[in-house]
Structure 1
Amino acid sequence: MTVTIRLEEEKDYRRVEEITREAFWNLYVPGATEHFLAHTIRSSSDFIPELTFVLELDGEVIGSIMYTKAKVIDDAGNEHPVISFGPVCILPKYHRQGYGRLLIEHSIEEAKKLGFSAIIIGGYPYHYHPYGFVGTKKYHISMPDGKFYTGIMALPLYEGALEGITGSIHFSPAMYPDESGLEAFDQTFPPKEKKVQASHLEFEKAASKIDTNSYE
């Protein structure tokens, strides 16, 4: 089998949206919103096409990762640019075979080469700790509500990238699209049944978990 990671091209757009829909369907909510996010994010000025990759297996696109600009606003109101990724996904039948790791590691290395300072994301800690992500509490960076959550994590891309910054992370507005167009967009895909699953409650609990770790 031949694995190729390359930059996303316009010809990949629909395929990426299909994969994203399959990967996230009924995972966090009944149905999914991530494929709509993948569709809308590309028109944002915060979208970073030079860090948006697809993974091909024997010429078939089976995975994707998308990046956007974000910023840390310090206590003095100064803005410090960082980046974030998501959605990131692999077609479900290829889960737990290492393809997601390849995609994430490749994008991190490319972000370093391009001179970005740090990546800050939201997600399950056990997914991202292996890459070096830790709670942003370690770097005194909260969410805008002033709280530190275990699911908000940072990875400096060079030594000292986040030192001396105390403030809050602000993800791109592109990560919170107007979902009024979601239903119509979803109807352009084959019908799928929406279900309530245990993973939804698990996600709600994880998203609100406060980071009580000591990083001193």
Structure 2
Amino acid sequence: MNSNIRREIPADYKKVEEVTREAFWNLYCPGCNEHLIIHKMRNHSDLIPELSFVIELDEEIVGSIFYTHSKVIAEDGTEYPSITFGPVSILPQYQRKGLGRALISYSIKVAKELGYKAILIGGYPYHYHTYGFKGTKTYNITMPDGQFYKGIMALPLYEGALDNVSGSLFFSDVFETDAEELEVFDKKFPSKEKKVKKSQKEFEMASMELDE
């Protein structure tokens, strides 16, 4: 497969939202909200536009990745900037073919070149350990509730980038959506059936798993 990675442009917006909706539909909950998150990101101050990428096959968009600013706040109030990627989307029929890996690897390389310090994310550890991500307990970085979770991971973008950094991790508020807002937005897309699936319970359990 000949794939091409490039920056997202405004002409891509609707297609990227459609691809994202297909990629996440019924995966983590009945329906999904990731297409709305992306829609809101584009006008949010936390978006990092130079790290908004799409991946194409035969000039057709089949996936995307987005980055936002995040931060670690120490007990004394000191703020340490970080960045976060997600959602990462690949159309279901093209998953497990290396396209997601290509997109993530490419964006990490660009983030390094742009001088960013560290990437902090939430997700399944087995997806991200291969890129060098480790649980944030390694770096004494908790979530705001003071807990360490196995699914919260960090990748320093240069040696020592997270030395002497500790505190609580705060992701952008762009990830927060409400049900009414989502219902209105989703009406702009073709109707799809919402279903309860095994993957949703697995995600719920994984997201609560403490790193002890």
TM-score of the aligned structures, taking structure 1 as reference length = 0.96
Deviation at 1:179, TM superposition (A): 4.2
Query: Is 2:88 the partner of 1:120?
Result: no
Q: Which amino acid aligns with 1:165?
A: V
Structure 1 stretches of at least 4 aligned residues deviating more than 4 Å after TM superposition: none
- Matched residue of 2:161: which SS? coil
Q: Distance in 1 between matches of 2:140 and 2:90?
A: 32
Alignment check: 8 A CA contact 1:40 1:177 kept: no
**Residue 169 of structure 1 aligns to which amino acid in structure 2?**
L
Distance 1:115 1:169 in 2: 20
1:175 positional shift? 1.6
Which residues of 2 match residues 138-153 of structure 1 at below 5 A?
A: 138-153=138-153
Q: CA RMSD in A?
A: 0.8
Query: 2:180 is matched with which residue?
Result: 180
CA contact (8 A) 1:72 1:169 kept: yes
What letter corresponds to residue 100 of structure 1 in structure 2?
G
Residue 92 (1) aligns with residue 96 (2): no
Matched residue type, 1:34: E
Aligned letter for 1:33? Answer: N
The answer on 1:159 being equivalent to 2:153 is no
- Tell me the percent identity: 60
- What displacement does 1:177 show? 3.1
Structure 2: 5+ residue stretches without partners:
none
Give the unaligned 5+ runs of structure 1: none
In structure 2, distance between residues paired with 1:166 and 1:21: 35
- TM-score when normalising by structure 2: 0.98
In the alignment, the residues of structure 2 paired with residue 160 and residue 78 of structure 1 have an alpha-carbon distance, to the nearest angstrom, of: 18
1:98-127 deviation digits (Å, cap 9, x = unpaired)? 000000000000000000000000000011
CA distance in 2, matches of 1:164, 1:38: 33
Identify the residue that residue 136 of structure 1 maps to in structure 2.
136
